[in-house]
Amino acid sequence: MECGKYQSQFNDYLNYQSQFNDYLDGELSPRERERLQSHLRKCLSCYRKWNSLQKTKELLSRLPELNPPSHLSAVVVARLKERRLRRLIGPFAYLPRWLSLGAAAALLLVISLTLWQVLLPSFSFRSLLSGQNDTFTMNATPSEPAAKFATTREGAQTPVPVMVLRVKDFSRADRELQSMLRSFSGPMVEEMEPIGALNSSSARLIDLRVPGQHFSHLLHELHKIGHLDQSQVEIHRLANPQRKKAIAIRIVVVGIRSDVEIRHLKH
Amino acid sequence: MEPAVLAQQNRFAKREEEQLLVERCRQGDRDSFAQLMRLHEKQIYNFTYRMLGDEEEAEDLTQDIFMAAFRGIRRFRGEAKFSTWLYRIALNQTRNRIKYLARRNFFAKQSRRAHYKEESPWENPEFLADTNPTPEQWTLTKSMATQVQECLNQLPPQTRQILVLRDVQGFSYEELSEMLSLNPGTVKSRLHRARAALQQCLADKVE
């Protein structure tokens, strides 16, 4: 018998078919189950459909279980640790490796240079290159090494940078320097000490203590008086506006003709 | 002692161990998470494999599921079973991965590879190794599991997931309705439709 063939049995056919899934899942009541089983014994069409559905479910339940790779949990734990590390180093983690290494190297360089400048402010890289040390002689002619540092009159061990202004017209330059320093005394020049014994008609030495923040201004003004010698580079290096500490400096104004006199001073 | 009672006691012990591990994981203990993972990795890996039909992708997805589970374990309050909570994550991650792979034509390429294999049984070493390689026998010899998997791959992801969860992994309707946030009636009707679709696909293959 095939129940789906006749219109009169069509409702029964649909009803039985709708029960197949519940039957498969064991969700039919004993009475419904018995009724369906008895129908399946009689109706070939329904039996075929039921059999096919049952086979489908059986195929699914018999699918082989795969074993996950043995390293799976280890990989996940490693990824979790890596993720934690990335969170610790934050945004740098997502930069390319060469960029983060470069940034780190640059940062290290800046820090070490800053420390060098703070701890050894008088050190000059040029002196390293030219093989000179920190004991300099006063410069009289441009061909000779520049006189950059001298000791204070009190015989203190700290070297004082020396700025040599070689001028053609000594008397005029000396007048200008004196008036400029007078106008600056106070906030810009803390202490001014002319070294009388060494003053002459063609040379003058002055020791100054200048607050760090005004040092650049002073250099600028000194430029107007006469040209600076080779020591200017090292002296300019001291002109850091952030420095609060006063800077001691010795200024030597010398007429070009009195080079011999300067050589004398050296000794 | 009755075997049923023993089995129940065993289940309770396992559940307690699981709860302890979950509690440790919530405090950030990765080693406990590795232990917890070992309890569930086989089930999750098989689920992802049946959903994607590719071992490498399944492994990758399983890793992502457990990573997501570790990230969200503090939100797990123990109201549902841990496995149900884990499967919710797995379902979300799988849905996203399927979308991602579909955008990259992964399933189309997979289907082409399968089609090529199917058309050339004589080039298939598995087939040649068989002692009785007649065309009638082929559907039986050429790993029936592969054919079922191919049919699963052809079904829409929603249909596939309900079949895998119920008929492959054996979850109950209650568990399914909790995982999928659907009422049991909807789960049932979707499952019936899914079985019919798979039945049709397998029938087409045999013909």
Provide, as residue numbers in chain A, all residues whose Cβ is less than 8 Å from the Cβ of B150.
none
A75–B contact, CB cutoff 8 A? yes
A247 contacts A238 by C-beta, under 8 angstroms: yes
Can you state the angle between helices B173-180 and B184-206, rounded to 10 degrees?
Answer: 100
Which residues are A150's β-sheet partners?
Answer: A160
The rounded distance, in Å, linking the Cα atoms of B111 and B101 is: 13
Separation of CA B14 from chain center: 22
Per-residue model confidence as pLDDT tens digits over A68-98: 998 888 888 888 888 877 777 666 666 677 7
Residue A162 CB burial class (10 angstroms; 0-12, 13-18, ≥19): buried
DSSP-assigned letter for residue A63: S
Q: Nearest CB to A73: which of B38, B46, B192?
A: B38
Residues paired with A192 in a beta bridge: A208
Question: Which pair of tokens denotes residue B60?
Answer: 């990758």
Give the three-class secondary structure for A230: coil
- Residue closest to A10 by CA, chosen among A189, A18, B171: A18
Of B51, B58, B46, B47, whose CA–CA distance to B155 is shortest? Answer: B51
Phi then psi for A64, rounded to 5 degrees?
-65, 145
Report whether A165 contacts A222 (CB < 8 A): yes
Tell me whether B47 touches chain A (CB under 8 Å). Answer: no
At residue A189, the pLDDT reads 65
pLDDT of B197 above 60: yes
Query: pLDDT grade, residue B195 (50/70/90)?
Result: very high
B120, pLDDT greater than 50: no
> Which segment of B78-82, B98-102, B189-193 scores lowest on mean pLDDT?
B78-82
C-alpha to C-alpha distance for A42 and B51, rounded to whole angstroms: 39
**Residue-level pLDDT at B99:** 93
Measured between CB atoms, which of A25, A59, A72 is closest to B41? Answer: A72
A224-241 pLDDT, tens digit each: 776 655 455 556 666 665
**At A135, which amino acid appears?**
T
Please give the Cα distance from A68 to B56 (Å, whole number).
10
| Per-residue pLDDT at B51 | 95
pLDDT of residue B183: 92
Contact: B145, A63; criterion CB under 8 Å: yes
B63 to A72: CB separation less than 8 angstroms, yes or no: yes
Question: Residue B87 and residue B94: Cα distance in Å, rounded?
Answer: 10
Contact by Cβ (8 Å): B120, B114: no
Instruction: Summarize pLDDT for B128-142 with one digit per residue, the tens.
Output: 444 444 444 444 445
**Structure-block tokens of residue A222:** 């000194």
Per-residue pLDDT tens listing for chain A (267 residues): 556 555 556 667 777 878 888 888 888 899 999 998 988 888 888 888 888 888 888 888 888 888 999 888 888 888 888 887 777 766 666 667 778 788 889 999 999 888 887 776 555 555 555 444 433 333 333 333 333 444 444 444 456 777 777 777 778 888 888 888 877 766 666 556 555 445 556 777 788 887 777 777 777 777 777 665 545 555 666 666 556 677 778 787 777 665 555 555 554
Report how far residue A212's alpha carbon sits from residue A209's, in angstroms, rounded to the nearest whole number. 9
CA-CA distance, A193 to A158, in Å (whole number)? Answer: 17
Position B85 scores a pLDDT of 93
Question: Which of A241-267 are b and which e, b meaning 16 or more Cβ less than 10 Å from the residue's Cβ?
Answer: eeeeebbbbbbbbbbeebbebbeebee
- What is the nearest CA distance from A96 to chain B, expressed in angstroms? 23
Q: What element of type H or E holds A214?
A: none
Q: What ipTM did this prediction achieve?
A: 0.80
Token pair of A103, please? 């940034």
Under 8 Å between Cβ of B144 and B130:
no
DSSP codes joined into one string, chain B: --HHHHHHHHHHHHHHHHHHHHHHHHTT-HHHHHHHHHHHHHHHHHHHHHHH--HHHHHHHHHHHHHHHHHHGGG--SSS-HHHHHHHHHHHHHHHHHHHHHHTTHHHHHHHHHHHHHH-GGG-HHHHTSS---HHHHHHHTTHHHHHHHHHHHS-HHHHHHHIIIIIT---HHHHHHHHT--HHHHHHHHHHHHHHHHHHHHHHH-
Beta strands in A58-158 (DSSP E): 149-151
Instruction: Identify which has the larger pLDDT, B62 or A191.
Output: B62
What would the DSSP string read from start to end of A185-202?
BTTTBSEEEE-GGG--SS
pLDDT of residue A156: 46
B-chain CB neighbours of A86 within 8 Å are none
* CB proximity A89 to B under 8 Å: no
Question: Do A21 and B30 make contact, defined as CB atoms within 8 angstroms?
Answer: no
- B45 in contact with A, Cβ within 8 Å: yes
Q: Is the dihedral of CA A31, A35, A36, A38 positive or negative?
A: positive
Q: Is residue B151 within 8 Å of residue B204, measured between CB atoms? A: no
Asked if A37 reaches chain B (Cβ–Cβ under 8 Å), the answer is no
- Token duo for residue A33: 């189950």
CA distances A82 to A22, A72, A96, A256, Å, are 49, 15, 16, 72
* pTM to 2 decimal places: 0.57
When comparing pLDDT for A200 and B176, which is higher?
B176
Looking at residue B170, its pLDDT comes to: 92
B12's tokens: 């309770």
All residues of chain A having their beta carbon less than 8 Å from the beta carbon of residue B37 are 72-73, 76
What pLDDT score was predicted for residue A192?
61
Cβ(A165)–Cβ(A225) under 8 Å? yes
